[in-house]
Amino acid sequence: MCGIAGAYRTTDTVRIERMLDRLTHRGPDGQGVIATDTGVLGHTRLAIIDLQGGRQPMEHDGALICFNGEIYNYRILRDRYLRDQTLKTDSDTEVLLRLYRTLGPGFVNLLEGMFAFAILDGDDLFLARDPIGIKPLYLAQRDHTLLFASEIKALALQADQVTTFPPGTWYHSRFGSHAYYEFAKGWPQNGVFETVERAKNAIRAVLRSAVHKRLLADVPVGVSLSGGLDSSIVALLACAELDHVETFAVGMEGSEDLEAACRMAQYLGTRHYEYVYTRAEMEAVLPDVIYYLESADPALVRSAVPNYFLARLASERVKVILTGEGADELYAGYDYMRALTTPEDLHRELEIAIRELHRTNLQRADRMFMAFGVEGRVPFLDVESIALALSLPPEWKLAAPGEPTKMLLREAFASDLPESIVQRPKQKFSAGAGSMHELATVAEERFDDQTFARERQRLMQRWNYRLPNKEALYYLDTLRAVLPERLIMPEMGVSRSL
């Protein structure tokens, strides 16, 4: 994981160095800037694979690359497509650059992982982003120069408008943009799984494989453990692969997450670490949380606060952490989805929720972990896991009255997890950690009704954004102190689970 910044049709390295100054938190292990005749690439590195040989930007045969992410199958691709070449490193970065030179833009279809990268090759620029948008990438235009970076803040001094580079897309300066990945192939096909039992076996197998891939690292790996179903499954599968696993949990005094996580850690025998924070600490870190998050969406900020403390705690011991992100979108885990009573409505909503992840929960996870130089990995969002989940009949995901959500997922791992974990109701990260109501209370104390009404009307007229409450205004006001509103509003995702 790293931060990247660059420009096409300029040789101004000072501009890129200034952009990188705002991304140093993403890569504390090194920084580099290289210019060619047609562009500049910059990189701040968090070293995970090939600690010595993977420095960037990296050059091969006149082409340059800067890369943010991890390619889990890079060694397989290297042995299959590059066996006649002599590589200088054991890094996935070099494999990417050589695959581009060997196979052309279509090589992106072969990649398993999370990524955003740029390649300068002679007069050409090539950009690509992973299928779901786990890794961020933003674009801006200034005069005739195309700028790009991992975070909006890096572009704030350079441009009047920023756009999100779409997930599942590559761009070539001569060939244009191409959407190489589409996760939804329409309605699930009948007969893919004849029985629920076969589906549960497939879920177990695909998640076991996804976790296995994401344990690839030359540094310590941990697991975020809230004590909920999703993170408990990830921790369970990681413990099956590793002799020693470190788990991390945070919350306010008396929070349900801390208690449940402790029970699960004892069950698995992990080295477990927790941090208890207070309302005063929440208020103190909120400006930093919002600065790194680059969003004022209330649900996102609420969950970002415990995520911030978790990332800080984990950074003391590991550089890579696995999380349970994505399970709720794949298996209908949110409470609001209970109101969707037909398979058609539920499947449609799940597709939308997955498409929006890169602007909501994935953005939150990326920004909070990278604020402390930690790489977050998301096994549930492996492309095979997504394909499997969306191939299942949606009626199997409908929650019956009084029944917990995600019953298919719960039953798939019921024999391996404590009953208290299998039956534990879904908790929002902020609710389980105890921060949800505290943040709303702080916001209510900041603004009177007239100020709220005035801002609500202005934001609707200017951006067609309906300000939901004073809490949202509090977060937006905090974000506007560090980023211009013109850059915030067009790209801000809105959580559907609010």
Q: What CATH number should be reported for the domain holding residue 18?
A: 3.60.20.10
Q: What is the distance between the alpha carbons of residues 69 and 362, in angstroms, rounded to a whole number?
A: 13
Q: Which of 179, 210, 233 is the last residue of a domain?
A: 179
Tokens of 254: 């008396």
Give the mean pLDDT of 475-497.
90
Q: What is the distance between the alpha carbons of residues 180 and 353, in angstroms, rounded to a whole number?
A: 20
Give me the sign of the Cα torsion angle 398, 402, 405, 408.
negative
pLDDT tens-digit map of 28-83: 777 889 999 999 999 997 655 555 555 789 999 899 999 999 999 999 999 999 99
Q: What is the distance between the alpha carbons of residues 360 and 353, in angstroms, rounded to a whole number?
A: 9
Give domain status of residue 497, yes or no. no
Residues 152 and 288 in one domain: no
Output the pLDDT for position 55: 73
Number of domains in the chain: 2
Give domain status of residue 496, yes or no. no
Output the pLDDT for position 432: 45
Which contiguous run of DSSP H or E holds residue 40? strand 39-45
Q: Which residues pair with 170 in a beta bridge?
A: 128, 178
Please tell me whether the overall predicted TM-score, pTM, comes out greater than 0.85 for this model: yes
Tokens of 3: 């931060």
Residues 400 and 344 in one domain: yes
Residues 383 and 452 in one domain: yes
Q: Three-state DSSP class for 203?
A: helix
- Contacts from 305-308 at CB under 8 Å and sequence distance 24+? 305/430, 305/433, 305/435, 305/439, 306/250, 306/251, 306/257, 306/277, 306/429, 306/430, 306/433, 306/435, 307/364, 307/365, 307/368, 307/369, 307/429, 308/368, 308/371
Pick the more confident residue, 52 or 426: 426
Q: Three-state DSSP class for 273?
A: strand
Q: What is the distance between the alpha carbons of residues 129 and 184, in angstroms, rounded to a whole number?
A: 18
Q: How far is CA 266 from the centre of its chain?
A: 28
Name the active-site residue from 2, 66, 239, 262.
2
Give the mean pLDDT of 99-124.
97
Burial of 344 (0-12, 13-18, 19+ CB in 10 A): exposed
Q: Three-state DSSP class for 278?
A: coil
Mean predicted lDDT score pLDDT of the chain:
91
Residues 382 and 261 in one domain: yes
Give domain status of residue 462, yes or no. yes
Q: How, if at all, do strands 58-60 and 246-252 pair? A: unpaired
Grade residue 401 by pLDDT with cuts at 50, 70 and 90.
confident
Output the pLDDT for position 48: 57
Grade residue 497 by pLDDT with cuts at 50, 70 and 90.
low
Q: What is the distance between the alpha carbons of residues 372 and 134, in angstroms, rounded to a whole number?
A: 17
Check whether 326 has a pLDDT greater than 80. Answer: yes
> Could you tell me which of 429, 418, 426 has the C-alpha nearest to residue 360?
429
Residues 307 and 416 in one domain: yes
Residues 233 and 360 in one domain: yes
Give the mean pLDDT of 228-248.
96
Q: Which residues pair with 436 in a beta bridge?
A: none
Residues 54 and 166 in one domain: yes
CB 450 within 8 A of CB 438: no
Q: Which of 43-47, 215-219, 274-278 has the lowest mean pLDDT?
A: 43-47
CB 113 within 8 A of CB 107: no
Q: What is the distance between the alpha carbons of residues 149 and 417, in angstroms, rounded to a whole number?
A: 41
> Could you tell me which of 60, 54, 59, 2 has the C-alpha nearest to residue 26?
2
Give domain status of residue 172, yes or no. yes
Residues 485 and 337 in one domain: yes
Give the mean pLDDT of 464-493.
93
Give domain status of residue 186, yes or no. no
Q: How many residues are present in the chain? A: 498
Grade residue 498 by pLDDT with cuts at 50, 70 and 90.
very low
393 prior amide bond cis, ω within 30: no
Give domain status of residue 184, yes or no. no
In single-letter form, the type of residue at position 446 comes to R
Give the mean pLDDT of 437-447.
79
Segments forming the whole domain that contains residue 393: 196-491
Q: What is the distance between the alpha carbons of residues 34 and 64, in angstroms, rounded to a whole number?
A: 8
Q: What is the distance between the alpha carbons of residues 95 and 101, in angstroms, rounded to a whole number?
A: 10
Exposure on the CB side of residue 477, measured as CA atoms within 13 A: 13
Report the CATH number that the domain containing residue 205 is assigned in CATH. Answer: 3.40.50.620
Cα R_g (the chain), whole angstroms: 22
Q: Which of 150, 179, 208 is the last residue of a domain?
A: 179
Which contiguous run of DSSP H or E holds residue 320? strand 320-322
Residues 141 and 276 in one domain: no
Q: Which of 135, 152, 179 is the last residue of a domain?
A: 179
pLDDT tens-digit map of 299-319: 999 999 999 999 999 999 999
Residues 164 and 201 in one domain: no
Output the pLDDT for position 271: 97
Query: Is-catalytic flag, 2?
Result: yes
> Could you tell me which of 249, 245, 248 has the C-alpha nearest to residue 269?
245
Residues 28 and 117 in one domain: yes
Check whether 403 has a pLDDT greater than 70. Answer: yes
Residues 153 and 201 in one domain: no
Check whether 192 has a pLDDT greater than 80. Answer: no
Tokens of 49: 């694979």
pLDDT tens-digit map of 358-400: 999 999 999 999 999 999 999 999 999 999 999 999 999 998 7
Check whether 183 has a pLDDT greater than 80. Answer: no
Pick the more confident residue, 241 or 435: 241
Exposure on the CB side of residue 332, measured as CA atoms within 13 A: 30
Give domain status of residue 65, yes or no. yes
Check whether 495 has a pLDDT greater than 90. Answer: no
Q: What is the distance between the alpha carbons of residues 206 and 235, in angstroms, rounded to a whole number?
A: 15
Give domain status of residue 185, yes or no. no
